[in-house]
Amino acid sequence: MIDVEDLIALVRNYNPKTDADLIREAYAYGKEMHEGQFRRSGEPYFTHPVAVAAILTEQALDDATIITALLHDTVEDTRASYSEVARKFGEEIAELVDGVTKLTNLQLSSTETKQAENFRKLFMAMSKDLRVILVKLADRLHNMRTIKSMRPEKQLQKARETMDIYAPLAGRMGMQWMREELEDLSFRVINPEARNSIIRRFILLQRETGDVIHKITNDIRVELERENIDADVFGRAKKPYSIWRKMEEKQQSFSRLSDIYGFRVITRSEMDCYRVLGVIHHRWRAVPTRFKDYISQPKSNGYRSIHTTVSGRDGKRVEVQIRTRQMHEVAESGVAAHWSYRDGVPAQNPFAVDPTKWLAQLTERFENAEDHSEFLEHVKLEMYTDKVFTFTPKGEVVSLPKGATPLDYAYAIHTRIGDSCVGAKVDGIRVPLWTRLKNGQSVEILTAEGQRPQGTWLDIVVTGRAKAAIRKSLREEDRERFVKLGRELARVAFEHVGKKASEKALATAAKQMTLASTEELLARLGSAELAASEAVKAVYPELVRESGAIDAKRAVLGLSEGETYNRAQCCQPVPGERIVGITYRGKGVVIHAIDCPALEELESETNRWVDLQWHAGPHAPEYTVSLDITISNDTGVLGRICSLIGEQKANISDLRFVDRKPDFYRLIVDVDLRDVEHLHAVMLAVEAESEVAQVRRYRNLDRRP
């Protein structure tokens, strides 16, 4: 564990005016509060807050943030209180510690409705003081670095949460180094075989080609010296997860993936950045479509750099990033640069942005979202998409997610502009409203008085702001007519399953679908935003056959006329899976999944094999599949599992325990499903629950025909 004087020395390296006495007091207080507490690894617990503080010193952060790191678990895990922390260390630090405590208590990987509400709380907390999330990210980074001491199922849950939430958040805030490390640490847990495979291939590649990074770095330096450009050049191999993601996106093997090396050129001035770009493009062939100028069009988090990809030595593609020293500091620290110190004073970096702007805009935009699912949709769009920078006719920059359309642009300007939009011009040319915008385009919106949003616009826009505005307008327009029509649609749908659309039934449906009121439900039914069958299914899921669903008796193609089939209970095939039929004396045709182990015994009896396939249309949820689930023996876990399955519109037809241990239960749950996609959705929802150690498809060869 780093002792207090070493920690103070780390802070003094960038802030000689640090309040060393206050850091000593916080260190001693934190150590006293955590006395007798230990981590799962057996180390004293206080080693963790100290390590978090040390991580934050690498970003040259202020005293308040360092002290918050030392105290961030005291209010939650010890006898310390908010008032005591405020009295000893001031209101500012107490507020920061309280903010980190609240973030720690949010279960961000819970069910979708709860996740949306927690995301809302997350962004509200962050918008008050972004240093809260800087401490939380450092906290998560240290926990991921030391994750091996946790139980395997907890490792997996934490790794997925990190990959889904904290890594993208770090990237969105401009802390790319942290994003890459969080992703790679999570990748090590989620898919260790793939990560080890990539590392082995890297080692083999180095044996075959030598030190490519050193060679290319020298090549670039030689070219820059020839042009008298003073710059630093660094090279590195990309992280295993980054390479894996490229392999998945491009559907290429490692041997065919070329741009696995990255190089960075740090110049003395902005003009030198463009001189370096010219030198590199003159020496090596540029790869088309792989050039981005974030200096002339900075990202919203302050990131500035030129990115280009060229065919370097031996034809290998390499990515080169070109930036100044000040740009590099912001690129490494992101919004944290706003609080960084140099020589005892806050660093004056012209490229550091106001860190609360993005979060304030996000919170303001969505704090009035009408339901949880919409809010979650908007947040994920904002957090996880790349940006496109467009221009107004006056030259002002409008930032939009990748894939945005002129309609998204119109709503980004103002809701009134979006609602009255009748057309758009891009670079002076009239284009359809569904056109995907590209970087650097100038957009002009054409409006007309009396124009109203149309239902088809929802399929055109991608931004949460536009979707929310269109939905709101559609619901408000002729709302009374929609409510009346919705009531009639509900009456018919409920009568179809032998039930009445009573006020109580409709109120229950609205509650199950997380809508504000019965009237809201009816309005959405009448406007065709929701199908009436969904309302019935919310109340009576076991009675609903999906509209137009194929009857199970005719779900399989390839049978002779009048011939029937049965599903093999050993593999329980469902629509969407490849299947084969096997004839059995007295049983007709029994269908098996193509990978069923029982088929190995029948390989030589080809005369019994029948070529079959599932009907391609929609199927009713009547195909039972057994799931083998291991859960922790805690209060309420089984109830949450059943709720999760119900939320996926799947019915549990049977449930039985097969193994009971003091800490874990293993059970077999029979679930009625539509098809293989429905199966995957149910398994994914159950697997995401933190108290689920394992979920897999249960196959029992003892149940062979």
pLDDT, average across residues 382-401: 72
Q: Give the Cα separation of 396 and 442 in Å (integer).
A: 9
How confident is the prediction for the chain on average, in pLDDT? 82
- Per DSSP, 281 falls in state H
Q: Is the pLDDT of residue 547 over 50?
A: no
Tokens of 507: 């109120």
CB-count exposure of residue 503 (10 Å: 0-12, 13-18, 19+): exposed
pLDDT, average across residues 643-668: 80
* pLDDT tens for each residue of 563-597: 889 999 999 999 999 999 998 877 789 999 998 88
Phi and psi at 78, nearest 5°, equal: -130, -175
* pLDDT tens for each residue of 83-126: 999 999 999 999 888 888 877 766 555 444 445 555 555 665 56
Which stretch of 65-79, 106-120, 353-367 has the lowest confidence by average pLDDT?
106-120
For 506, half-sphere exposure in the C-beta direction (CA atoms, 13 angstrom radius) is 23
* pLDDT tens for each residue of 584-630: 877 789 999 998 888 888 888 888 898 898 887 788 888 999 999 99
Q: Which residues of 299-326 are buried (b: 16+ CB within 10 A; e: fewer)?
A: bebbbbbbebbbebeeeebbbbbbbbeb
Q: Give the Cα separation of 417 and 424 in Å (integer).
A: 11
Return the pLDDT at 113. Answer: 45
Q: Is the pLDDT of residue 505 over 70?
A: yes
Return the pLDDT at 185. Answer: 93
Return the pLDDT at 189. Answer: 92
Q: Is the pLDDT of residue 663 over 80?
A: no
Return the pLDDT at 165. Answer: 77
Return the pLDDT at 257. Answer: 54
Where residue 544 falls among pLDDT bands split at 50, 70, 90?
low
Q: Is the pLDDT of residue 369 over 60?
A: no
Catalytic residue among 43, 58, 77, 488: 77
Q: Give the Cα separation of 130 and 135 in Å (integer).
A: 9
pLDDT, average across residues 636-646: 80
Q: How far is CA 280 from CA 212, 304, 308, 483, in A?
A: 17, 19, 9, 64
CB of 100 closer than 8 Å to CB of 131: no
Q: Mind spelling out the 3-state secondary structure of 29-85?
A: HHHHHCCCCECCCCCECCHHHHHHHHHHHCCCCCHHHHHHHHHCCHHHHCCCCHHHH
- Per DSSP, 600 falls in state G
* pLDDT tens for each residue of 8-54: 999 998 888 899 999 999 999 999 999 999 988 889 999 999 999 99
Q: How far is CA 126 from CA 69, 85, 123, 595, in A?
A: 16, 20, 5, 49
Where residue 265 falls among pLDDT bands split at 50, 70, 90?
very high
DSSP secondary structure string for all residues of 654-701: EEEEEEE-SSEEEEEEEEEESSHHHHHHHHHHHHHSTTEEEEEE---G
Return the pLDDT at 314. Answer: 63
Which stretch of 2-6, 365-369, 433-437, 522-526 has the lowest confidence by average pLDDT?
365-369
Closest to 136 measured CA to CA, from 76, 90, 96: 96
Q: Give the Cα separation of 525 and 529 in Å (integer).
A: 6
CB of 139 closer than 8 Å to CB of 101: no
Where residue 524 falls among pLDDT bands split at 50, 70, 90?
confident
Query: Could you identify the residue written with the tokens 């439900």?
Result: 521
pLDDT, average across residues 695-702: 86
Could you give all domains of the chain from N- to C-terminal order, each with its CATH number? 4-192 (1.10.3210.10), 207-340 (3.30.460.10), 385-476 (3.10.20.30), 479-543 (no CATH), 552-614 (no CATH), 623-703 (3.30.70.260)
CB of 149 closer than 8 Å to CB of 182: no
Q: Select the more confidently predicted residue: 362 or 322.
A: 322
Query: Could you identify the residue written with the tokens 């398994």?
Result: 683
Return the pLDDT at 638. Answer: 79
Output the pTM of the full model. 0.54
* Annotation marks residue 77 as catalytic: yes
Element (H, E) at 261: strand 261-267
Q: Above pLDDT 70, what percent of the chain? A: 84
Query: Could you identify the residue written with the tokens 């240093």?
Result: 131
* Annotation marks residue 76 as catalytic: yes
CB-count exposure of residue 51 (10 Å: 0-12, 13-18, 19+): buried
Q: Give the Cα separation of 48 and 69 in Å (integer).
A: 9
Q: Give the Cα separation of 387 and 341 in Å (integer).
A: 30
Treating both helix axes as pointing N-terminal to C-terminal, what angle do 112-128 and 91-104 enclose, rounded to 10 degrees? 170
Catalytic residue among 76, 184, 270, 478: 76
Q: Select the more confidently predicted residue: 229 or 351.
A: 229
Q: Is the pLDDT of residue 389 over 80?
A: no
